[in-house]
Amino acid sequence: KNEVEQSPQNLTAQEGEFITINCSYSVGISALHWLQQHPGGGIVSLFMLSSGKKKHGRLIATINIQEKHSSLHITASHPRDSAVYICAVRFKGTYKYIFGTGTRLKVLA
Amino acid sequence: DTGVSQDPRHKITKRGQNVTFRCDPISEHNRLYWYRQTLGQGPEFLTYFQNEAQLEKSRLLSDRFSAERPKGSFSTLEIQRTEQGDSAMYLCASSLEAGTSEYEQYFGPGTRLTVT
């Protein structure tokens, strides 16, 4: 069965902390996306990964194909990073994306 | 603004009525997705178009739902005989496919449907 699990579901951090959000999936994938959704706002794509690591500003995304696991890291977190972070996976042999349940992040000043 | 537009942004309808939503993707994007999102949940895949061809549909998409993408440009999603359970945000996203490479998806602002 094609499944995606995210952890933690909720995360509260102090400004400046290093944050890690995890995504695990069940079988081989073609692509994995990390998305950000602000309350009442639209969805923005942060990264698309099929292997390795990507960095954009304070955000870093990694994927370990053998372990079937991806992480999103936020360095020097800021209150404006408060949002829901969602992992979305396209399994091999399908065009369909399966989404994780999301991680609700709150960064306190 | 991601460049993907959706119309209308909000729709209130009575149970049993038909509704149609439109998505205009970024012009050079050949891939188009429809998703549905209910409050507090992640999006659920509904259907996928590559150019004008509908290549995959979710089993969630009952026969009351139909989607088209004529000429591989804009897309429409129609829901017939709406039910209260159809109330959700309907999201459209587009991306570019080049060879076997995959690129990020750009999401529209969504159409919020309320069925009364």
Mean of pLDDT values over A6-14? 96
Q: How many CB atoms lie within 10 A of CB A8?
A: 12
Q: CA B52 to CA B93: how far, in whole Å?
A: 15
Residue in chain A closest to B6 (alpha carbons) equals A42
In the predicted structure, residue A2 carries a pLDDT above the cut 70: no
Contact A65, A52 (CB under 8 A): no
Share of chain B above pLDDT 70, in %: 97
Residue in chain A closest to B41 (alpha carbons) equals A101
Q: CA A99 to CA A33: how far, in whole Å?
A: 9
Mean of pLDDT values over A81-92? 94
Tell me which chain B residues have a C-beta less than 8 angstroms from the C-beta of A44: 2, 107
Give residue B60's pLDDT band: very low, low, confident or very high (50, 70, 90): confident
Mean pLDDT of chain A: 93
CB neighbour burial string for B74-96, b if at least 16 within 10 angstroms, e if fewer? bbebebeebeeebbbbbbbbbbb
Mean pLDDT of chain B: 92
Contact B106, B95 (CB under 8 A): yes
Mutate to test the interface with A, among B37, B44, B45, B103 (most CBs of A within 10 A): B45
Answer whether B43 sits within 8 Å of A94, measured CB to CB.
no
Share of chain A above pLDDT 70, in %: 98
Give residue B59's pLDDT band: very low, low, confident or very high (50, 70, 90): confident
Answer whether B42 sits within 8 Å of A95, measured CB to CB.
no
Amino acid letter, B68: E
Q: Is B94 on the interface with A (CB under 8 A)?
A: no
Contact B58, A96 (CB under 8 A): yes
pLDDT in tens, B91-103: 999 998 776 666 8
pLDDT in tens, A64-82: 999 999 999 999 999 999 9
Answer whether A31 sits within 8 Å of B102, measured CB to CB.
yes
Residue A1 has a pLDDT of: 63
Give residue B28's pLDDT band: very low, low, confident or very high (50, 70, 90): confident
Q: CA B43 to CA B83: how far, in whole Å?
A: 19
Residue B10 has a pLDDT of: 97
Tell me which chain B residues have a C-beta less than 8 angstroms from the C-beta of A33: 104-105
Mean of pLDDT values over A49-66? 94
pLDDT in tens, B63-91: 899 999 998 899 999 999 999 999 999 99
Peptide bond into B25 cis (omega under 30): no
Answer whether A44 sits within 8 Å of B107, measured CB to CB.
yes
Structure tokens at A42: 């639209």
Q: CA B65 to CA B82: how far, in whole Å?
A: 9
Three-class DSSP category at B97: strand
Give me the half-sphere count of Cα atoms (radius 13 Å) on the Cβ side of residue B90: 30
Tell me which chain B residues have a C-beta less than 8 angstroms from the C-beta of A31: 102
